[in-house]
Amino acid sequence: MARILNGKEFAARMKENAAQGVRALRTCGVHPRLAVIIVGNDPASEVYVRNKQKTCEELGILSDHIALPEETTCAELLACIDELNADEEVHGILVQLPLPAALAAREEEVLSRIDPRKDVDGFHPVNVGHLFIGVPGLRPCTPAGCVRMLEYADITIEGANAVIIGRSNIVGKPMAHLLLERHATVTLCHSRTKNLAEIVRTADILVAAVGRPRFVTADMVKPGVTVIDVGINRIAPKQLVGDVDFDAVSKVAGAITPVPGGVGLLTVAMLMENVVQAAKVQTEERGGR
């Protein structure tokens, strides 16, 4: 049976880091503040956003919930972002994805409007570029949280064969860079990859981010592999499963994250660290105020 990588345990350490950062900023008279914009009423997004706010509250971070109606125009959304960019009290801005269909085609324009210093999702092209060339900066929360967990769990990244399934901008692509900068040998697979199972079997670290329930099966993994399951698939009203067949794969793997109780918790904890980091950088830029 594999070691279960309990998201709650690692998230608690990350949240403690964030809480310490909040305390330090407050002694300088700065109260970290996150603004979350949600457009429309996607039920899954509403759950994620509530979670983010609850965690802010827990750590003493101020949070603004800006709920805009489904029919919000792009110009209105951009104006809302401009206002938050200009507000010195707001340190982090997050636009919850996915955007409603009418705005989805302009996602890139929307994300690029956020001041890169306040882009706590790490999705702005400037922050993506910093990750690509290895300059410190705000990193996307899900992959950064996963990598932090690997470090806390003492799982060796350097020299490891890391295989990622899924090439999204939110998870797969940034994960590839984060692992590469820690000296893993990275293979990024996707829906058109040939011989997927064969490649997945070479993995010492496997990241599944495909969005297909129980896609990774036990015959696809090498004994002892570390499996990070980023998938959250609702297969029944009250049943969430990952992209990995947990019951079978956990008998072969060396370590594995459960769903729920794994990566989801790390994402929110990393977001809190990003808000604190953003607040610190902005405070330093203003001369410590």
Contact positions with ligand GUN (CB under 6 A) in 36-55? none
Contact positions with ligand GUN (CB under 6 A) in 62-101? 94-97
Question: Which one from 15, 96, 173, 245 is the annotated catalytic residue?
Answer: 96
- Of the residues 55, 142, 168, 274, which one makes contact with ligand GUN according to CB under 6 A: 142
Q: Does 147 bind ligand GUN (CB under 6 A)?
A: no
DSSP state of 235: E
Which of 184, 193, 236 is CA-nearest to residue 213? 236
- Of the residues 56, 90, 128, 170, which one makes contact with ligand GUN according to CB under 6 A: 170
Q: Does 270 bind ligand GUN (CB under 6 A)?
A: no
Specify whether 64 is catalytic. no
Q: Examine residue 260 and say whether the peptide bond preceding it is cis (omega within 30 degrees of 0).
A: yes
Q: Does 160 bind ligand GUN (CB under 6 A)?
A: no
Q: How far is the CB of 245 from ligand GUN (least distance, A)?
A: 23
Beta strand residue intervals within the chain, DSSP E: 3-4, 33-39, 62-68, 92-95, 161-165, 185-189, 205-208, 226-229, 233-236, 239-241, 255-256
- Using CA atoms, how far apart are residues 190 and 196, in angstroms rounded to an integer? 8
- Using CA atoms, how far apart are residues 226 and 275, in angstroms rounded to an integer? 29
- Is the distance from CB of 96 to CB of 52 less than 8 angstroms? no
Q: Does 119 bind ligand GUN (CB under 6 A)?
A: no
Annotated active-site positions, please? 52, 96, 121
Using CB under 6 A, list all residues that contact ligand GUN. Answer: 94-97, 121, 141-142, 170, 267
